[in-house]
Each structure stands twice: as structure tokens, then as C-alpha cells.
């Protein structure tokens, strides 16, 4: 039995998220079907975590157990030939039996992108949220700075979260101003359901002057989802990369 790890990128636009669910049409379903065509095995892949419907990934990580004799370096080409053009495997390697893409993950980085052009850029419309009103970038940076560290993020999680603990650590959170775009990058040891989208939605509200950055500590302390800003739309969010101890 081999333990195979893959790094996968996908355009999440037309999928119901990464993880298998009753309504079907998930990235996981498509990948498992493609593996089955290759190996004739009923394989269950383990992703580093879910991504919501409409959310994208540049470096999602998954692993699975297989009896296939396909060498690790041949997997990437073989599976890409059996995948739709909006899901691409970037790398495959064989890892030790202990590797588990979710449990072993140490840090994840997400990117949330806002299109600040007066009219939306047609070429990136599926990967950004259009927001042309002026945004106070300095206040948005204050929001991100106030979230860095170990906190109970209940106020920044969907009430549907089923996690036993809502304590997570954000290592880095920054906002980069680009040409017609703002990018929020957040790195943490793990993220709750909708957490990055609520962080982005809150930063946008503060940028618009609808909330104040100085209230973030009180919002965290309240452990009340209704105190934070809205959940920003999924299409602006991309899972950039997942880091493991090496």
C-alpha cells in the first residue's frame, strides 16, 4: 500500500465545493472518479480541508492509499488526462504512511481578491469580487492586525460550524494594494467554516466606514457571529498553499 500526495489547483466556479456531499458535483468526486478510471480502485481521498462552493485553489493538498503500481512521477500526467480543464494536478509524490493531508497540515494561506476598478475586469470576474466604492485601506489593515494571534474565532465562523473548538491562530494577515485590485492574504494554523470570507467581509465593511477597526477585540470577545461583518462572496477566495513539517 502506497500513500500518495497530490497538489491540486482548481477553478471552483462550477462545483459544490471540495468535499463530497449529497448534492454531488464536488472536486473530490471528480478526482476520485478519475483515480478510479486509472486504477480500478474505489479510493477515498483526504483533502487538507474543505473549500466552499465557488471557492478556488492554487495549492490544495490531498492524499490517498493505493495498491496501484503507477510510479509517483507518472500520476500527474495520467490523471490530468482524465480531468476536466478546471481541475489540474500540479505535483504528485509518494509520502510516508503517517502523512495525513488534514491532520499533518501546519499552516494554510488564503487569498481574498477585490476588484477595485470602476467597471469589473472581464478576465478575472470569476476570481474577484467587484467593489468600486472607495475603501479605507489603512483601516482595513488595522482589522487584519487585530486578528493576528491566538483567538476564539466564534464571531468569525458560520453558526453551522461543528468544530469542538473555535480557537485558532492567525500567523500573518496582510493587505496588498495592486493595480485595480486589493489582495488580502491570511495565514493560520487552521480556519473555521466561512472564516476567511467573514474576515474579508468585515475588512470591507470597515473599509467602507460601516464598522470600526478598534471594535475588533470586542467583536472577538463577544463570540457572537452577528457582531462581525458579512460573509464576503465565495468567488474572491483562493486557497493558496498548505504547509507541512518536513
Contact between 85 and a second copy by CB under 8 A: the answer reads yes
- The one catalytic residue in 11, 29, 52, 86 is 52
Tell me if residue 179 is catalytic: no
Smallest gap from Cβ 28 to a second copy, in A, equals: 16
Query: Dihedrals φ, ψ of 77, to 5°?
Result: -60, -45
Return the range that interacts with a second copy (CB under 8 A); candidates 96-104, 124-132, 160-168, 225-233.
Answer: 124-132
Contact between 181 and a second copy by CB under 8 A: the answer reads no
Contact between 87 and a second copy by CB under 8 A: the answer reads yes
Contact between 89 and a second copy by CB under 8 A: the answer reads yes
Q: Which of 29, 65, 105, 120 binds a second copy (CB under 8 A)?
A: 120
Contact between 76 and a second copy by CB under 8 A: the answer reads yes
Query: Crossing angle of helices 72-80/27-39, nearest 10°?
Result: 110
Q: Which of 1, 23, 96, 119 binds a second copy (CB under 8 A)?
A: 119
Footprint (CB under 8 A) of a second copy, residues 50-69? 56
Gap between the Cα atoms of 23 and 5, Å rounded: 26
Q: Which of 4, 11, 153, 195 binds a second copy (CB under 8 A)?
A: 11
Contact between 214 and a second copy by CB under 8 A: the answer reads no
Return the range that interacts with a second copy (CB under 8 A); candidates 119-127, 175-183, 192-200, 222-230.
Answer: 119-127
> With contact defined as beta carbons under 8 Å apart, do 182 and 135 qualify?
yes
Return the range that interacts with a second copy (CB under 8 A); candidates 45-53, 85-93, 133-141, 197-205.
Answer: 85-93
Query: Does 193 show up as a binding residue in the annotation?
Result: no
Contact between 179 and a second copy by CB under 8 A: the answer reads no
Q: Which residues are catalytic?
A: 52
Binding residues for substrate: 110
Binding residues for a second copy, rule: CB under 8 A, are 9-11, 56, 76, 80, 85-90, 118-125, 127
Amino acid at each position: 500500500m502506497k500513500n500518495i500526495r497530490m497538489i491540486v489547483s482548481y477553478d471552483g466556479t462550477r462545483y459544490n465545493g471540495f468535499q463530497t456531499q449529497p448534492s454531488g458535483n464536488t472536486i473530490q468526486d471528480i478526482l476520485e472518479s478519475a483515480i478510479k478510471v486509472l486504477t480500478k480502485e474505489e479510493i477515498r481521498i483526504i483533502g487538507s480541508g474543505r473549500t466552499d462552493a465557488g471557492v478556488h485553489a492554487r495549492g490544495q493538498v490531498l492524499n490517498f492509499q493505493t495498491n496501484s503500481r503507477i510510479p509517483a512521477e507518472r500520476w500527474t500526467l495520467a490523471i490530468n488526462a482524465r480531468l476536466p480543464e478546471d481541475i489540474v494536478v500540479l505535483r504528485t509524490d509518494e509520502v510516508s504512511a503517517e502523512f495525513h493531508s488534514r491532520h499533518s497540515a501546519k499552516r494554510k494561506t488564503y487569498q481574498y481578491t477585490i476588484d477595485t476598478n470602476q467597471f469589473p475586469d472581464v478576465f478575472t470576474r470569476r476570481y474577484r469580487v467587484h467593489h468600486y466604492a472607495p475603501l479605507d485601506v489603512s483601516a482595513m489593515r488595522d482589522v487584519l492586525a487585530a486578528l493576528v494571534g491566538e483567538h476564539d474565532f466564534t464571531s468569525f465562523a458560520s453558526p453551522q460550524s461543528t468544530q469542538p473548538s473555535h480557537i485558532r491562530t492567525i500567523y500573518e494577515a496582510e493587505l496588498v494594494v495592486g493595480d485595480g485590485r486589493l489582495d488580502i492574504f491570511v495565514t493560520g494554523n487552521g480556519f473555521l467554516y466561512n472564516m476567511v470570507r467573514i474576515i474579508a467581509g468585515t475588512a470591507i465593511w470597515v473599509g467602507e466606514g460601516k464598522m470600526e477597526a478598534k471594535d475588533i477585540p470586542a467583536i472577538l470577545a463577544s463570540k457572537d457571529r452577528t457582531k462581525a461583518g458579512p460573509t464576503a462572496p465565495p468567488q474572491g477566495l483562493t486557497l493558496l498553499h498548505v504547509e507541512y513539517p518536513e
